[in-house]
Structure 1
């Protein structure tokens, strides 16, 4: 799977990636054509008087009322907007097709470069980049494969990408920091009463928020100035994962160190308010 597209309410993968690319191409070309036609119509309508006195008589006479003028301007702007917005998405899709990478695989490869440089490991070789010609052939003939086993380049294994991703996840968990919740958090996106600073600087993400109760243990893997992202630690059950999400930094303190002055200042500032 490459990604889930909310506009067509469908996941884009190896069975429909070709059709999705054609859809984006037709949308860009159609809106580009519409914007050109509308721009020409506007030009003739605005300069109609000039064409009456100085034209050849063969030019089309276009009459626009105030309403139709505003609608034409709106349609032109929206068509141009689609050309740029969907055109950027089409560029990303074509770039991924030429490299034979999905959006997720792009992230894995990008992180692999930094991870291996930092640890002094050999560069990571993406096993599915067969060259742009064969990659395009896979786009049109991808339905011949089962979506699990794909042709790879010589010298690479079938599970090289999987092992690299597992190594990245293990490296991420090794850098995780343990926290203990010391204040309650309801999971609201804008906790103005309990955590005003966190409410004014929320993370730009649609990922869930993690409700907390005092005493719960947490494993944080990402951080912002006023927020942490992590998961609850489940004591019972080997291999089970707790709920994950963002929570205010001031709601928890590191298990292996006292909370810093920044957290303490925010906690003291919100002490008089009811926890949100």
Structure 2
């Protein structure tokens, strides 16, 4: 609930209006304003979003730089919650759904000390009346609603577990490559044009996850990921360290995976 609430309430981040933008890569045709790197225009919000991933209808909010981590962890913990219910609910589902209804359970549940019901077997009590009073399958009326609720829960939990689990894996794959949903499409197009193309924001899986979760600079996985934490992400989303940034900046940010390759690239660019 924490990550869902924060994902809804935290704004994704917008370029400053009328302020100085240190680095602009283009002009937004809709907003008619400079766009920082990794910024895209959302047609639903009608605003430019810093490091936009997508517009989420479940959050009723854009997923961007400032709430991307909340969105992802909300999915992960929801999947873990569904897995918990599936594992510890297997026994109940097996007994109630697979084995089905057993009328003997109804009689076993009766209190031994309960008073026996007296039946009027006089001729004045017609067989039709007796047929209305008798329950042909004792306990079935209480079993059917429980059965329907369990089947509904099983279908819902299994569906959410599969759908959200696959979506979480898809986003985890993109995070490992240091890209958003929009950048994944753009990078795929660039690779089609030039097989030697390299994502400028891919610093290796480990460093990409650290930057995404914001666990650099003394933050830890245990205190800032496993436990609810409102800490801010790395950077202001107006400027970005990339593989084309000066080597000193990358090393200071911990965002270099191949120092020798980075130095070679810097020589070629100079």
Instruction: Please tell me the TM-score bracket, short chain as reference.
Output: 0.3 to 0.5
Q: TM-score, normalised by structure 2?
A: 0.47
Query: RCO greater where, 1 or 2, for CA within 8 Å and sep 6 or more?
Result: 2
Q: TM-score, normalised by structure 1?
A: 0.46
| Larger Rg computed on CA atoms | 2
